[in-house]
Amino acid sequence: MDLLEQSARGWSSIVCASKNPGAYSGGSLLNLAEGKFGKSDAGNVRWVAAVGTDYGMIAVRADSPYQNLRELMKAIKDKPSAVAIGAGGTIGSQDWLKMAQLSKQSNLDPKLLRVVAFEGGGESFTALLAGHVQVVSGDVSEASLHAREGKIRVLAVLSDARLPGLLSNVPTAHEQGFDVTWPIIRGIYMGPQVSDADYQKWVSHFQRAMNTPAFDEMRKAHGLYPFAMTGKNLTDYIERAVHNYRQQAREFGLVR
């Protein structure tokens, strides 16, 4: 499980040189769709396994006047400049796109959003708790610690269904009238030069490992929810995901 400890490895290092597996995330797929890896596409590497997923979420401070996502989006639509939104990244990042999708469904131009970019979710939540921003667009794993301490209110999770555990009472965006989901899968991939035999060996290793109770415990310890997929099924899923990300990027003028 050491691979889950590393951030997504450099795309070019896997494509060009490495015969060892590297870690990827949903952010890697978005970067691929937005052309941040040059002319590469999903077919340039071999997708081994998805080992779990995180989900997007929208949160405010515990003392915020906004009790649900509808109230928040109405306030943003009424006066976009009055609501500062903390995000881990600038325009085109995952956190920005989550809010852009919600804004679109509120008939608000995402360009009007007052998004404050931070290096990551930790800085966004620090700014939220200090009162520098009123909202955080981030991930469930980042929000859970602050929610457990009662410091924030998660208004919506961007998953298909409510999540088990700490945030089980938090409604999905879909329940509140917004057709927005944002899974953030985590997994393993390899370079194209890896032989079929070696690739299948890695796929088989992960298939066996992900069927064990010990793996479930490690996945939970990393703040991930179940999402197990390997081989061709995973490759097909990723190709669809990259296609959907690219459509979103075009829709918001991020790529041509």
User: For 150-157, what is the mean pLDDT?
Assistant: 98
Q: In the prediction, which pLDDT does 38 show?
A: 78
The alpha carbon torsion through 137, 142, 147, 151 (nearest 10 deg) reads: -70
The per-residue pLDDT of the chain, averaged, comes to 92
Task: Tell me which amino acid residue 110 is.
Answer: P
What's the CA gap between 238 and 48, in Å, rounded? 11
Q: In the prediction, which pLDDT does 242 show?
A: 95
User: For 66-73, what is the mean pLDDT?
Assistant: 98
Q: In the prediction, which pLDDT does 1 show?
A: 46
Using an 8 Å Cβ cutoff, are 66 and 75 in contact? yes
Total-model pTM = 0.90
Residue 59 has pLDDT above 90, yes or no: yes
Q: In the prediction, which pLDDT does 99 show?
A: 98
Percent of the chain with pLDDT over 90: 84
Residue 163 has pLDDT above 60, yes or no: yes
Task: Tell me which amino acid residue 201 is.
Answer: K
Q: Which domains does the chain have, with CATH numbers?
A: 2-50+182-251 (3.40.190.150), 55-176 (3.40.190.10)
Residue 33 has pLDDT above 80, yes or no: yes
* H/E stretch holding 25: strand 22-25
User: For 38-65, what is the mean pLDDT?
Assistant: 93
What's the CA gap between 74 and 60, in Å, rounded? 15
Using an 8 Å Cβ cutoff, are 155 and 56 in contact? no
* H/E stretch holding 42: none
User: For 227-245, what is the mean pLDDT?
Assistant: 96
Q: In the prediction, which pLDDT does 11 show?
A: 45
Separation of first and last alpha carbons in the chain: 38
Residue 26 has pLDDT above 60, yes or no: yes
Q: In the prediction, which pLDDT does 19 show?
A: 66
User: What is the DSSP code string of 127-155?
Assistant: HHHHTS-SEEEEEHHHHHHHHHTT-EEEE
Residue the block writes with tokens 């269904």: 161
Residue 145 has pLDDT above 60, yes or no: yes
DSSP state of 63: T
User: pLDDT tens digits for 77-129?
Assistant: 999 999 999 999 999 999 999 999 999 999 999 999 999 999 888 999 999 99
Res. 149 pLDDT band, cuts 50 70 90: very high
Q: In the prediction, which pLDDT does 18 show?
A: 54
Q: Catalogue the long-range contacts made by 129-132 (C-beta closer than 8 Å, 24 or more residues apart).
A: 129/61, 131/61, 132/84, 132/86
Residue 183 has pLDDT above 70, yes or no: yes
Tell me which of 27-31, 36-40, 43-47, 185-189 is least confident.
36-40
Q: In the prediction, which pLDDT does 21 show?
A: 85
